[in-house]
Amino acid sequence: MGERKGMEIALAAAEAAALCRPDVVAAYPITPNTHVPEHLANIVSEGKLDAEYICVESEHSALSACMGASGAGARVFTATSSQGLLYMAEIMSIASSMRLPVVMALGNRALSGPLNIWNDHSDIMSQRDTGWISLFASHGQEVIDMIIQAFRIAEDADVLLPINVNLDGFQLTHVVEVMDFPSQSEVDAFLPAYKPFASLHPDHPCSMGTLGLPEIYSEATKAREVAIVNSRKTILKVWAEWEKAFGRRYEPVESYKMEGAQEAIMTMGSMGETAEIAIDALREKGIPVGLLKLKLWRPFPYEDVRKAAKGLKSLLVLDRAVSFGGPGGPVASEVRSSLYGETDRPAITNYIFGLGGRDVAVEDFIKMFEKMRSGDKKRSKDQYEFYGVRGE
Amino acid sequence: MNTLKGHPVGLIENFDLYAPKLVDREEYFTPGHRACQGCGEALAIRLMCKALGKDTVIINATGCMQVISSLYPTTAWELPWIHVAFPNAAAVGSGVEAALKVLRRKGRIPNRDVKAVAIGGDGGTLDIGLQALSGAMERGHNMLYVCFDNEAYMNTGIQRSSATPFGASTTTAPPGVASMGNKTWKKNLPEIMAAHNISYVATACNSYPLDFMNKVKKAREIDGPAYIHCLSVCPTGWRCPSEACIKMGRLAVETGVFPLYEAEQGRYRMTVSMPENLRPIQDYIKHQGRFRHLTPEQVQSFQERTNLEYKKLLNKIEHSKSWAEMSANQG
Ligand SMILES: Cc1ncc(C[n+]2csc(CCOP(=O)(O)OP(=O)(O)O)c2C)c(N)n1
Ligand code: SF4
Ligand SMILES: [Mg+2]
């Protein structure tokens, strides 16, 4: 039997990773994710986890070391944030192309500049197209669960792709929550030992990371795309098994009070928790509004979004990042693509807010919702806006 | 055995006779790769692999050797081999080494010693990969790192690196009315590696196969980090005939431009004996198009600095003691 206890979520992330018995951990400190590698170092130092812990000299080397270890057949784990993720950027795409199932806890933090250690989603969005599976947690329990699920998904013979579990910096990493920790035997039963497809050993030599000419590069790229699209099946299977084993349900798009809703708000990450309170307040006023929480960012769950948006008149999509000079927020952009072919689709409003740690309060969701409803007729429905930003 | 009656038989003169006994006949870096004719790096890698033997994992930085050996779907490697990127062979190697160690401890791979050997060019080692290399050496991984130094970024077309010698012409340090070509002195990476307090540092050259292979064997046996810096002649980039590969390497040594030594536990030792009087560097550089533009004054500065660097090395060889010796003398 597992245990229910209160803990800082970053520490819980480390505990969850340790329950998965990684063979090699390589990570580099960066706020707000530092407590993850620190706590793992403790766990290893106390002899509670038999792993090689590599105190690398940079994030570039952290991911590189994970790649080498994974190539040699080890289960690997790393953690980072923001600038650290950018420092890994060169290696991100190579990890997915080499089909090495690296698991990463990504404590989301704004990209510099200006230098800012607080939360938004600009870090992961900059690495969106590197072929990693991306999950988004909205509270501590999901962080624990998703990290354990992540190893199952990434290492599945049908998947073999790296995966990042996104947890909002500070809003999640530094918050103490009461969470259920599965027991070691429960995790062992859920997560079998990693069986690599190929590994670096003289008994069965192979060459990994070869040169690909134009004759093969397109095929290699398409194979990776097919793999990540197909990973959806495994993700759903793993989530179904998780529900059976632990009683907690996971879906690509989670609904909250969507019964009879004509309007909805869509969030990704920890703001979904605050938004729930706003939805409660709006419902109390008799407004038929619900909440859609996006849990799976890549592969993007197009069909789930279409299903969830069915019958809605309007949808307010909230983004914690901006695609400069582009379509506004990255989440809204995907949602619009999902719904473009639908004849009966909601009007979509996109607000960008909560950047670089700007506080996101319950009232803000209510205000944004009202702002959307009041409908600035001068704007086309496809526009986006920064919410709560001075200097407009 | 077919010996000449009454005459001592020199090893090198009868290399063909002895080589099969001294050198593993197995090819781990196989023919058919795409290196240029007379490539010293490819030759050195072949020798290195023979010295390492089967129980090896190679971690390769991007560069000529990766590109010429791994054109999908072919591979020149009979050893397990991984390439990830240009700057990170030492970091990937750290991960391979850690994995081999922990998987062996946990009984998930056979219980025998498999060595992680990271390799890179001078660019991937002295420049963009220096941070990863320093980290890996400092952390004490049981890993051998071999730098194949052809004194420029050859894979991308002969650009200058910090290993490019004084005066050489490269595509990013070309000589012209306002420039002599490369103005800086070659970075002394073996010395930087020695400053990491690792047990074994050596220089080597593709033109001294037995010396190189002995060093590789010695380094392989070290339970910890070791570093070998192998000068590898690149006829394409040095602008010399491909058949001059071996000769160029020997001249680099005989002129004192690239002496062959090792630092074992802090003790420096010349491994290939040097002539009493070094040959003038002119003997070495006159064969190479990359030095063709140098004026007599510039050649003179090159000569003077070579003499100085050589003396600095001799000084270390004369005065260095091994760490064991020094601790014994403490009391
Ligand atoms: C981050 C990055 N920068 C630049 C390059 C381009 N590049 C590939 S190999 C190379 C030079 C390799 O030089 P060196 O390490 O000396 O090896 P050589 O080809 O000379 O054997 C460069 C600049 C790259 N692949 N990655
Ligand atoms: S360019 Fe030089 S190092 Fe590269 S393959 Fe040709 S000879 Fe060898
Ligand atoms: Mg080079």
Distance CA B87, CA A61 (A): 9
State the DSSP code for B8: -
Contact B72 A200 (CB under 8 A): no
Residue A37 near residue A79, CB atoms below 8 Å: yes
Q: Using only C-alpha atoms, what is the Rg of chain B?
A: 20
Residue nearest to atom 4 of ligand 2 (CA): B64
From chain B residues 53-82, the ones with a CB under 8 A of any chain A CB are 54-57, 59, 66-67, 70-73, 75, 77-82
Q: What pLDDT shows up at residue B3?
A: 41
Domain count, chain B: 1
* Residue B161 within a domain: yes
Contact A202 B66 (CB under 8 A): no
Biggest CA–CA distance in chain B, Å, is 65
Q: What pLDDT shows up at residue B2?
A: 40
Which ligand is closest in space to the CA of residue A91? 1
Q: What is the pLDDT of residues A94-135, one digit of tens each?
A: 999 999 999 999 999 999 999 999 999 999 999 999 999 999
Please tell me if residue B98 touches chain A, with a CB cutoff of 8 Å.
yes
**Residue B147: which H helix or E strand, with range?**
strand B143-149
Q: What pLDDT shows up at residue A148?
A: 98
Mean pLDDT per segment of 10 residues, for chain B of length 331 residues?
45 66 90 97 98 98 98 97 98 98 98 98 98 98 98 98 98 96 98 98 97 98 98 98 98 98 98 95 98 98 98 98 90 56
Residue A339 near residue A372, CB atoms below 8 Å: no
Closest to B153 measured CA to CA, from B162, B142, B143: B162
- For the record, the structure tokens of A308 come out as 């969830």
Q: What pLDDT shows up at residue B14?
A: 65
B235 CB under 6 A from ligand 2?
yes
Listed in sequence order, the DSSP H helices in chain B are: 15-22, 40-52, 64-69, 89-105, 122, 130-139, 189-194, 209-221, 235-238, 245-254, 281-285, 296-319, 323-328
At what angle are helices A82-97 and A59-71 packed, to 10 degrees?
30
Beta bridge partners of residue A253, listed in sequence order: A294
Distance CA B148, CA A216 (A): 29
Give strand ranges (E) for chain A.
3-8, 24-26, 52-54, 76-80, 103-108, 133-136, 163-168, 176-181, 207-208, 253-256, 263-268, 289-294, 296-298, 314-319, 347-352, 384-386
Distance CA B124, CA B130 (A): 8
Residue nearest to atom 7 of ligand 1 (CA): B156
SS3 at position B46: helix
Q: What is the CATH number of the domain that holds B299?
A: 3.40.50.970
Residue A326 CB partners (closer than 8 Å, separation 6+): A333
Distance CA A28, CA A37 (A): 7
Placement of tokens 């391979």 in the chain: B96
Low-confidence ranges of chain A (pLDDT < 70): 376-382, 392
**Interval between CA A150 and ligand 3 midpoint (Å):** 40
- B175-176 vs B143-149, strand pairing mode: unpaired
* Residue B13 within a domain: yes
Q: What pLDDT shows up at residue B8?
A: 46
Give strand ranges (E) for B155-284.
175-176, 179-180, 200-205, 226-231, 261-264, 267-270
Residue A255 CB partners (closer than 8 Å, separation 6+): A290, A291, A292, A293, A308
Using an 8 Å CB-CB cutoff, list chain A residues near B90: 61
Which ligand is closest in space to the CA of residue B119? 1
User: Which residue in B has a C-alpha nearest to residue A71's C-alpha?
Assistant: B96
Residue A356 CB partners (closer than 8 Å, separation 6+): A110, A116, A118, A119, A120
The 3-state secondary structure of A123-157 reads HHHHCHHHCCEEEECCCHHHHHHHHHHHHHHHHCC
* A201, B134, B232, B249, B257 from B204: Cα distances, Å: 27, 20, 9, 10, 12
* Residue B41 within a domain: yes
* Residue B2 within a domain: no
User: Which residue in A has a C-alpha nearest to residue B79's C-alpha?
Assistant: A205
- For the record, the structure tokens of A249 come out as 């349900």
Please tell me if residue A72 touches chain B, with a CB cutoff of 8 Å.
yes
Contact B99 A98 (CB under 8 A): no
Residue B94 near residue B139, CB atoms below 8 Å: yes
From chain B residues 115-134, the ones with a CB under 8 A of any chain A CB are 131-132, 134
* Residue B62 within a domain: yes
Distance CA A12, CA A49 (A): 15
Beta bridge partners of residue B77, listed in sequence order: B29
Q: What pLDDT shows up at residue A374?
A: 87
How many of the other CB atoms lie within 10 Å of CB of B140? 14
- For the record, the structure tokens of B190 come out as 């073996």
User: Which residue in B has a C-alpha nearest to residue A207's C-alpha?
Assistant: B81
**Interval between CA B36 and ligand 2 midpoint (Å):** 5
Best of B102, B114, B117 to mutate (most A CBs within 10 Å, chain A) = B102
Q: What pLDDT shows up at residue B12?
A: 60
B120 CB under 6 A from ligand 1?
yes
Distance CA A92, CA A132 (A): 8
- How much is the pTM? 0.96
* Residue B22 within a domain: yes
Distance CA A5, CA A17 (A): 17
Distance CA A148, CA B98 (A): 22
* A50, A196, B15, B169, B300 from A192: Cα distances, Å: 16, 12, 54, 57, 68
SS3 at position A207: strand
- Range(s) of the domain holding residue B196: 9-330
Q: What pLDDT shows up at residue A382?
A: 56
* Domains identified in chain A and CATH numbers: 3-246 (3.40.50.970), 253-386 (3.40.50.920)
* Partner residue facing B93 (CB), from A60, A62, A68: A68
Using an 8 Å CB-CB cutoff, list chain A residues near B101: 52
Provide long-range contacts, Cβ within 8 A and 24+ apart, for A383-386: A383/A328, A383/A350, A384/A319, A384/A327, A384/A328, A384/A329, A384/A332, A384/A350, A384/A351, A384/A352, A385/A349, A385/A350, A385/A351, A385/A352, A386/A322, A386/A351, A386/A352, A386/A353
